[in-house]
Amino acid sequence: MGEAAPPAGMTGIVQSDIDLDVVRSILQRFQPRDHQEAQELILGALQEVNEHFGYVSLEAAEVVAEHLGTTATRVYALLTFYADFRTEPRGKHFMLLCHGMSCFVGGSQRLVQELKDRWGIEDGETTADGELTVQVVNGCLGVCDRAPYCVLDGHSVGELTVESLNETLQRVIAAGGSWKDGHHG
């Protein structure tokens, strides 16, 4: 463990099912020539870890800090400052829900509300049963002709209504780990 305690907002952080050897191999691509360059690489390294695992655990953050010769405190600060980083694992299923202009006009606010009312989750949160994590994207996901639109487990789902959102989520969760055929999209 590093020398610093995590800030208050990160005390609930999960103590890693992230394979730290994988983190170390990701970090091999980040070889700063000096301290200044190391500082500049911290964000990029965290982004790669976040992308690979879907989040950055406390332990992974410490490995990054060690590799780039900085303090764990500084890395925690970056993780908590930037909304793009997750510090907890995603649920079994992951949905990017578009909340860009076309989707908003098409009713994405109702979908956001439904996720809150029925599924108990808001942006960045995971259902209590660990099945579903949602990330609400305020920029356009680039498929406006299918608005309101989301990407669920990497698959496009468009023309969403509250009913089709619920139905799709129920089906995907009931199907277990993998997305089944038979969807539009």
Binding site for ligand FES (CB under 6 A): 98, 100-103, 140-144, 147, 149
Q: Of the two residues 72 and 143, which places its CB atom closer to ligand FES in the complex?
A: 143
Element of type H or E holding 152: strand 150-152
3-state secondary structure of 179: coil
* Closest CB to ligand FES: residue number: 100
The most distant pair of C-alpha atoms in the chain lies apart, rounded to whole Å, by: 55
Q: Of the two residues 61 and 141, which places its CB atom closer to ligand FES in the complex?
A: 141
Q: Of the two residues 101 and 173, which places its CB atom closer to ligand FES in the complex?
A: 101
Q: Least distance from C-beta 108 to ligand FES, angstroms? A: 7
| Helix axis angle, 72-81 to 58-67, nearest 10° | 120
* Owner of token pair 């608005």: 147
Amino acid at 99: H
Q: Of the two residues 80 and 102, which places its CB atom closer to ligand FES in the complex?
A: 102
Asked if 113 contacts 73 with a C-beta cutoff of 8 angstroms, the reply is no
Q: Least distance from C-beta 152 to ligand FES, angstroms? A: 14
Q: Least distance from C-beta 51 to ligand FES, angstroms? A: 21
Q: Least distance from C-beta 36 to ligand FES, angstroms? A: 39
Which two tokens mark 71? Answer: 């303090």
- Looking only at the bridges linking them, the beta strands covering 132-137 and 150-152 are unpaired
Q: Least distance from C-beta 27 to ligand FES, angstroms? A: 34
Q: Of the two residues 16 and 108, which places its CB atom closer to ligand FES in the complex?
A: 108
DSSP percent split of the chain into helix, strand, coil, nearest 5: 45, 10, 45
Asked if 42 contacts 70 with a C-beta cutoff of 8 angstroms, the reply is yes
